[in-house]
Amino acid sequence: MEKLLPAFMLTLVAGLSTGIGSTIAFFAKKTNTKFLAVSLGFSAGVMIYVSMIEIFFKAKDKFVVVFGNKGGMLATILSFFGGMLVITLIDKLIPQERNPHEVKHVEECDPETGVCRVVESDRSKSLMRTGLFSALAIAIHNFPEGLATFISALQDFSIAIPIVVAIAIHNIPEGIAVSVPIYYATGNKKKAFLYSFLSGLSEPLGAVIGYLILLPFMNPVIEGILFGGVAGIMVFISLDELLPSAREYGEHHLSIYGLVAGMAVMALSLYMFM
């Protein structure tokens, strides 16, 4: 229980990094696509490595206590792909044009869709609704991400800190998705930044609510399901969102260089904290 506050603070940092996206949208004249490609690749590398090398086997260790070696491995595999199924269903519930993880550029901001060109429009209510829908989409997407960060921080800070960095990087486009249409609706940068910044609260809030719901039932099986599901969710997000976005932002090789660098940093950090 003494780890709850530090774990919450780490999750809060990851969620509120949407504010960085708002800052980029308002003050950068052009998107640094090469930097974003490498950064998103790096984020994917961290999340894939820690999921497959560390979190997956933490799930197995929990299950083995109850089901033995063979049964524990089967339960781990099922929970891993179960996590992927959960995030797939969440993605299906949100239309692609409202998906906050789709590629966004600062210099190309269609206020109707959040994508790629500046369009004059006086339909302020429609734009405001677009921004709020984006914020809602982010809240739905960020619930499992926040839970992943929170559970990891409760278990091991050496794992959680790189995950926080990775999720913070991948939350940057979300800040752009929310802030741009709200800015065009209101003409107020402060208000747009505030909505974007606050939308990130869904990550720590959802994580804590999810954890508290599960807390009374916590046992090795539930912990194994959580770890296995978290690993599956993070791998899916990396393959379905981060790497495709990284490739679209820049050259293919830059995203792979970032991916390898993220894996190397994660491997080194795990080695240092052994």
pLDDT in tens, 89-121: 877 776 554 444 444 444 544 544 444 343 344
What confidence score (pLDDT) does residue 150 get?
82
Of the listed ranges 54-63, 174-183, 204-213, 235-244, the one predicted with least confidence: 174-183
What confidence score (pLDDT) does residue 123 get?
44
Kindly tell me if the per-residue pLDDT of 198 is higher than 50.
yes
Quick one: 200 exposed, middle or buried, by C-beta within 10 A (0-12, 13-18, 19+)? buried
What confidence score (pLDDT) does residue 132 get?
61
Q: Are 25 and 179 in contact (CB under 8 A)?
A: yes
What confidence score (pLDDT) does residue 116 get?
38
For residues 218-225, give the mean pLDDT.
Answer: 88
Structure tokens of 242?
């981060």
Closest of 29, 15, 19, 12 to residue 179, by C-alpha: 19
pLDDT in tens, 239-269: 887 788 777 766 678 889 989 998 998 888 7
Band (pLDDT 50/70/90 cuts) for residue 126 is: low
Distance, CA of 39 to chain centre = 13
Helix or strand run (H / E) with residue 245:
helix 243-249
Band (pLDDT 50/70/90 cuts) for residue 131 is: low
- φ/ψ of 201, rounded to 5, equals -65, -20
Chain mean pLDDT for the chain: 76
What confidence score (pLDDT) does residue 225 get?
92
Kindly tell me if the per-residue pLDDT of 160 is higher than 50.
yes
What confidence score (pLDDT) does residue 146 get?
78
For residues 180-199, give the mean pLDDT.
Answer: 75
Kindly tell me if the per-residue pLDDT of 214 is higher than 90.
no
Entry pTM: 0.69
For residues 149-170, give the mean pLDDT.
Answer: 77
Integer Cα distance of 116 and 108 in angstroms = 3
**Among residues of the chain, what percentage have pLDDT more than 90?**
16
What confidence score (pLDDT) does residue 265 get?
84
Integer Cα distance of 143 and 146 in angstroms = 5
Kindly tell me if the per-residue pLDDT of 194 is higher than 50.
yes
pLDDT in tens, 37-92: 887 888 888 889 988 998 899 899 999 999 999 999 999 999 999 999 988 887 77
What confidence score (pLDDT) does residue 114 get?
43
What confidence score (pLDDT) does residue 111 get?
45
